[in-house]
Amino acid sequence: MAIRAALAEQTVKTEGRTAADIRRLVAESELRMTSLDSKIAELKLAAAPMEDDGPEDFKSSSVEGEAPLASASLLQQRDRERITAAVLRHLVSPIRSLPVELLAEIFLLTIRDKELDFLEKYKHFQDAYRVSHVCSEWQQIAHCTPQLWTGTIAVTVKEVGADTVDGLRAWFARSDPLPVPVILRAGRWPGNLETLPPVLEELLRVAPRWGILHCLDGFLPHMFYQRLADCTLDSLEAANLEPLYSDDDITSALFLLAISPRLRKLVLRLDLLDDPGTSVTLPSLRLLMLTLRSERNTHLSPFLNFLSAPALETLSISFLSDSISWTQAAFTAFLLRSSNITELCLRWCPLTSSDLITALAHAPSLTHLQLEGCHRLDDAFLLALHHHVDAGTPPLVPFLHDFHLEDMSELLTETLIVGMLTSRWRAGSATARWSRVVLSMQYTMMFFTKDFRHALRELAREGFPVEIPDELLEP
């Protein structure tokens, strides 16, 4: 007797009965099982002497045939009773009384973190499939709970077969209409592709539902970006496109992102364009991280002039090439178009102190500043940050309270660093009070002097929140 058939049968039979009635049926079924177990044991005892007798003992041929048949019949009856009792207990189990909505919430709590962990990247898949395969009822609930199927999908494009494409299609169907995060490990593709791989076709089909898009490790076919022009990206909130080295791909990608009404976070690793063309505005963008490289002498200014982000709050620019130059004027103009910036990070930036002071004068709301490997900065920058009590005017970026000065320039004087930090720490309400200061000389292989460390320790006794890696302290 199949459990599914028994469940259907008992569901009909017990319709309209109370839980107490069903529990009485369970008790009756258990009594019948006990009785059947006794009868089976008696038959086994009765059969045992006949099996031990020698060939000379008289055996009834009728007993020989009937005992096994009776025993088999009793075993079948007992198994049916066991299934019936199990089904009846299931019908009155507490979880059966839970509303479907609450059961769906419990399902969601069983799913491990849906943010992709590359060491455990398939566990949210396993969890979703596991909970949907407990029983047909749970499967139906799971398939009708799209939130269960919105974990990050990581695809290595060149390794995807037909079965994986079918699996993606099913996953997308179950998560419909919710946004889904997608990570593409692209590999390398020839530039003259006439058709896209089926997996990219499937991903383009659900492009309006991309919530997050990461393109990593290689170059997607140019045709992919061309086809994206026919899609809408209405759900896209975060995009990480790296690397983008083709001028056409960079321009196409940025124009597509510009028509993404919800895009709030953008990470780009790209080769700079000499002439990006018509400007692009990203109206909802809150965070922009640029990693720039170039194998030829090039300039950042055209790109800064090309891009506008009026709602931008966090800007990070990293230079991976010494051949990239930029001007204070272009950077200042970009900051003026993004007047809400509160966090700025510059890594290996070629700006001088004068350039940076002029630019930061147009970022009055700045609260977080991280400078790493900016080796052209000198004491003039520290003096601009210094709070002078008698000056009558606030220092540069008066709301700054989180400051990172890492891989410090050798042009900066330790006494001026301490003086600047102290002046703002003790300025009262004139400037924001430091919440965090990080100092390091990680790549210059220098150590802080004893006097400098002593001064910082004195500040620390006042609660000054300074961080210096232990390995950088002077031996």
pLDDT (tens place) for every residue of the chain, 475 residues total: 577 788 778 778 888 888 888 888 888 888 888 888 888 888 878 776 554 555 544 444 444 555 566 678 888 888 888 888 888 887 777 777 778 888 888 888 887 665 544 445 556 777 887 888 887 788 888 888 888 888 888 887 766 677 778 888 888 999 999 999 888 876 665 555 667 788 888 888 999 999 998 887 666 777 777 787 778 888 999 988 866 655 666 666 776 777 788 899 998 887 766 666 677 888 899 999 988 877 666 777 778 888 889 999 999 999 887 777 777 888 899 999 998 999 999 998 888 999 999 999 999 899 999 999 888 899 999 999 999 877 677 889 999 999 999 888 788 898 999 999 999 988 877 789 999 999 887 554 456 778 888 888 888 888 889 887 665 444 4
Distance CA 197, CA 203 (A): 10
- The full length of the chain comes to 475
Q: What is the pLDDT of residues 330-363, one digit of tens each?
A: 889 999 999 899 999 999 888 899 999 999 999 9
Interatomic CA distance for residues 393 and 304, integer angstroms:
30
User: 213 has which bridge partners?
Assistant: 182, 239
Q: Could you tell me which residues come within 8 angstroms of residue 422 by beta carbon, excluding any fewer than 6 positions away? A: 459
Strands (E), 193-235: 210-218
Query: Which DSSP symbol is given to 434?
Result: P
Residue 303 lies in a domain: no
pLDDT of residue 442: 57
In this prediction, residue 289 carries a pLDDT of 93
Question: In this structure, is residue 465 part of a structural domain?
Answer: no
Q: Which residues are bridge partners to 270 per DSSP?
A: 244, 292
Residue whose entry in the numeric block shows the structure tokens 């009708």: 144
Whether residue 448 lies inside any domain: the answer is: no
Helix axes 3-13, 61-91, angle to 10 degrees: 60
What is the 8-class DSSP label of residue 397? S
Pairing mode of beta strands 324-325, 307-308 = unpaired
Structure tokens at 181: 């995060």
Reading the block at residue 327, the tokens are 């001007």
Please give the pLDDT value at position 311: 94
Nearest to 188 by CA among 138, 229, 136, 245: 245
Task: Say how far apart CA 368 and CA 401 lie, in whole Å.
Answer: 6
Sheet arrangement for strand 210-218: 153-156, 180-187, 210-218, 238-244, 265-271, 287-293, 314-319, 343-347, 368-372, 402-406, 436-439, 466-467
Domain housing 26: 3-97
Q: How many domains does the structure of the chain reveal?
A: 1
Identify whether 37 is part of a domain. Answer: yes
22 occurs within a structural domain: yes
**Beta pairing partners, 371:** 346, 405
- Quote the CA–CA distance of 351 and 375 in Å, as a whole number: 9
27 in a domain, yes or no?
yes
Angle at 190 between CA 219 and CA 307, to 5 degrees: 40
In a domain, 38, yes or no: yes
Which amino acid type is present at position 325? S
- Nearest-CA neighbor of 263 among 301, 233, 230? 233
Task: Check: pTM over 0.85? Answer yes or no.
Answer: no
Q: Write out the two tokens for 245.
A: 């080295």
CA dihedral 443, 444, 450, 451 (to 10 degrees): -110
C-alpha pair distances (Å), 84 with each of 16, 20, 90, 97, 385: 18, 16, 10, 19, 80
The predicted pLDDT at position 270 comes to 75
User: Three-state SS for 442?
Assistant: coil
Q: What pLDDT score does 118 carry? A: 46
3-state helix, strand, coil in the chain (%, to 5): 45, 15, 35
Judge whether 322 lies within some domain: no
Judge residue 229's burial from the number of C-beta atoms within 10 Å of its C-beta, 0-12 exposed, 13-18 middle, 19 or more buried.
Answer: exposed
